[in-house]
A and B are shown apart, each in its own frame.
Chain A
Amino acid sequence: MYDSHFPILVVVIPMLVSFVVPLVGMWNKKLPFYMATTAMIASLATSIGILVQVLQHGPISYRLAGWAPPWGIEYYIDHLNAFMTVLVCFISVLITIYSQKSITQERPDKEVHFYCILLLLFTGLLGMLVTGDMFNIYVFLEISSLSAYALIAIGDEKAHFATYKYIIIGTIGACFYLLGVGYLYIATGSLNIHDLSTLLPPLYGSKVIVVSSIFFILGLGIKMGLFPLHTWLPGAYTHAPSAVSAYIAPLMSKVAAYVFIRVLFTVFDIRFSFETLPIMEILGWVAAVAIIFGSIVAISQSDIKMMLAYSSISQIGYIVLGLTMGNREGFIGSVLHILNHAFMKACLFAIVGAIIYRHGTRTIERFGNLHRTMPWTSAAFAVAALSMIGLPPTAGFFSKWYLVLGAISAGKWAFVVIIMISSLLNAVYFFRVIEHVFWKPRSGGIDLPIERNEAPKSMLIPILVLAIGILALGFASHWIIEMVIGQTTPAGIL
């Protein structure tokens, strides 16, 4: 009976719960965790319901308060955002279960507010995914960014300065996005994505449209952490509490990447993005530089969170690179990489959080003998690292495979070489960690008795689910592409 209201329920449930959490938290400090988990599981169930509906009956259009589309706000869900919604909900549930022990140890006084703001962040991300209205995306973008600022600020002693940097740069990004919306509104008088996509094509010659597209790319590039605009990202990911890193790193930049795809392929169609302006040509090279830059800087880091943050910058490069190929393989590679990278980064940051929880260190040199003290965590790390490098049968191999196929059929051999080189660089920095985890003795603590000191179950189970997920996604990738991702390719891409 309620299934026609799923698109709004998926956003409203976590939002309402987040308002109740601080009230309940005043008399019981334990309850907010259970409330947050329940709300996220409810959203996950709803989002799966949406995905099933979309797979069976095609895209869903939901009118808020019954107002017809160009005037009212429309929630429009097709294969791409239905799939992204399930991904965000799934990772959120796992990381929330994971966060309980971690946040209690790192910030014991902030639990209640942590879950309140985490739910708001979750609301913002889901809202950006389900909505079909350009201004609505801005509002949800700011809800998610403001919550992210607050969550990062409760991190370690350098977190405040990193947060301040993120606030300044993030606000510029959001304002550029808003300017882009404004210019589109001047030219067309509409804010609805699908209305815009029919109104815009006759206007492609106009300078207003060109300026707005550039504002969109700059604004969303900042929010994604695309290479020259990435400066906020390493500090924010590194100094946030470990549960927050494990939540923000896989999800926030991916959702911004989704909006990027929406703007470049649905609002502006493929003709504009590839022919009117050389946007894709330039973005392709920017992404290529991002891939190499991120990998090289990651090699020189001794702090594992910093290393993973720079590796994120290079992975965002992969996602953008696939979009610029202009063919079906490249696009599928990008969307598949959004999925795989969300799993890999969630798994890796969660593992780092577990290591910090037990050993209190994130310096790679001090990871010696970790496979003896934390065997399951180390095994999960090996799986995620191999997937980041791109070895079959892990998930990371398949998205890189599609990216390479896309580059070959686009005739861009330079990009094939760049993907290969960066895989080698990935191997360099992940094998360095694997070497310390599995083969090196622990430096400093001489002859400490090596006792098995595995992470608590509530942290270990999400990590193992994510690691198994990486393998499962690898085996199921053909099926996922056929059922879901294959349907997401925009019109005009062959």
Chain B
Amino acid sequence: MENIFGHANYFIYIMLMMIGLYGMMAKKNLVKKLVGMNIFQWSLILFFVSIGAKDGGTIPIVEGAHGHGHGADLLIQASHYVNPLPHVLMLTAIVVGVGTTGVALAVLLNLYKKYKTLDEDEIIGKL
């Protein structure tokens, strides 16, 4: 049980990812596919943020923090800090996700103007 609760983030990330994949594959409405794609992308962000997070960790600013001033202390205290790198990577990934959603919505708008529907089967029928 501890294994499950201790890694709750990772179980939720896998669940979200599967929900997203299901949405993209099984849903016939193109907007629902897009929602699935977003869930899929955000599940990755949960995953990356979980890598860096730490119970009781503090912000990774060395200046003025406890243990500052002595080289040996700094090394020992390193385990108190949260790893900022995965979080910073996710800032970029969020921007990419917003960009992808924007392009997809623009394409959807054009599809709707042309076919007056967003149902995949109906659009394929009209192609």
- Residue ID in chain B nearest A179 by CB atoms: B44
Nearest 8 A/B pairs, CB to CB: A142-B96, A167-B104, A160-B111, A160-B110, A149-B103, A164-B107, A163-B107, A160-B107
B51, A185: Cβ atoms closer than 8 Å: yes
B contact residues, total (Cβ < 8 Å)? 31
A178, B93: Cβ atoms closer than 8 Å: yes
The stretch among A168-176, A320-328, A339-347, A396-404 that forms the contact with chain B is: A168-176
A161, B111: Cβ atoms closer than 8 Å: yes
Residues of B within 8 A of A164 (CB): 30, 104, 107-108, 111
Q: Which of B34, B48, B92 contacts A182 (CB 8 A)?
A: B48
B33, A168: Cβ atoms closer than 8 Å: yes
* Given A139-B92, A161-B123, A164-B30, residue A171 in contact with residue B47 (CB < 8 A): no
Cα-based distance from A49 to B54 in the complex (angstroms): 47
Chain A interface size, as a band, is 20 to 34
Chain A residues within 8 Å of B, Cβ to Cβ: 135, 138-139, 142, 146, 149-150, 153, 157-158, 160-161, 163-164, 167-168, 171-172, 174-175, 178-179, 182, 185-186
B123, A142: Cβ atoms closer than 8 Å: no
* Given A160-B114, A185-B86, residue A171 in contact with residue B37 (CB < 8 A): yes
- In the assembled complex, the CB of A423 is this many whole angstroms from the nearest CB of chain B, namely 34
B41, A171: Cβ atoms closer than 8 Å: yes
Residues of B within 8 A of A139 (CB): 92, 96
Contact with A along B82-119 (1 / 0, CB 8 A): 00011001001100100110011011101100100000
A-B contact pairs, 13 of them (CB 8 A): A135-B89, A146-B100, A161-B111, A161-B124, A164-B104, A164-B108, A167-B104, A168-B37, A172-B24, A175-B41, A179-B44, A182-B86, A186-B51
The secondary structure that dominates the A interface is helix
Given contacts A164-B30, A179-B47, A182-B51, 4 further A-B contacts (CB under 8 A): A163-B107, A167-B107, A175-B41, A182-B86
Cα-based distance from A150 to B96 in the complex (angstroms): 14
Cα-based distance from A179 to B48 in the complex (angstroms): 9
Chain B residues within 8 Å of A, Cβ to Cβ: 21, 24, 30, 33-34, 37, 40-41, 44, 47-48, 51, 85-86, 89, 92-93, 96, 99-100, 103-104, 106-108, 110-111, 114, 123-124, 127
Cα-based distance from A135 to B100 in the complex (angstroms): 17
B40, A171: Cβ atoms closer than 8 Å: yes
Residues of A within 8 A of B37 (CB): 167-168, 171-172
Residues of A within 8 A of B104 (CB): 164, 167-168
Cα-based distance from A27 to B37 in the complex (angstroms): 39
B123, A167: Cβ atoms closer than 8 Å: no
Residues of A within 8 A of B110 (CB): 153, 160
Residues of B within 8 A of A171 (CB): 37, 40-41, 100
Cα-based distance from A161 to B122 in the complex (angstroms): 12
A146, B99: Cβ atoms closer than 8 Å: yes
Cα-based distance from A175 to B45 in the complex (angstroms): 10
Cα-based distance from A163 to B104 in the complex (angstroms): 9
Cα-based distance from A149 to B106 in the complex (angstroms): 11
- In the assembled complex, the CB of B84 is this many whole angstroms from the nearest CB of chain A, namely 12
* Given A171-B100, A186-B51, residue A178 in contact with residue B44 (CB < 8 A): yes
Residues of B within 8 A of A185 (CB): 51, 85-86
Residues of A within 8 A of B123 (CB): 161
Cα-based distance from A392 to B41 in the complex (angstroms): 48
- Residue ID in chain B nearest A147 by CB atoms: B103
- In the assembled complex, the CB of B120 is this many whole angstroms from the nearest CB of chain A, namely 9
Residues of B within 8 A of A160 (CB): 107, 110-111, 114
Cα-based distance from A138 to B89 in the complex (angstroms): 10
Cα-based distance from A158 to B111 in the complex (angstroms): 9
B92, A149: Cβ atoms closer than 8 Å: no
Q: Which of A146, A150, A167, A182 contacts B47 (CB 8 A)?
A: A182
User: Which of A142, A146, A168 neighbours the largest number of chain B CB atoms within 10 Å of its CB?
Assistant: A168
B86, A150: Cβ atoms closer than 8 Å: no
Cα-based distance from A158 to B89 in the complex (angstroms): 36
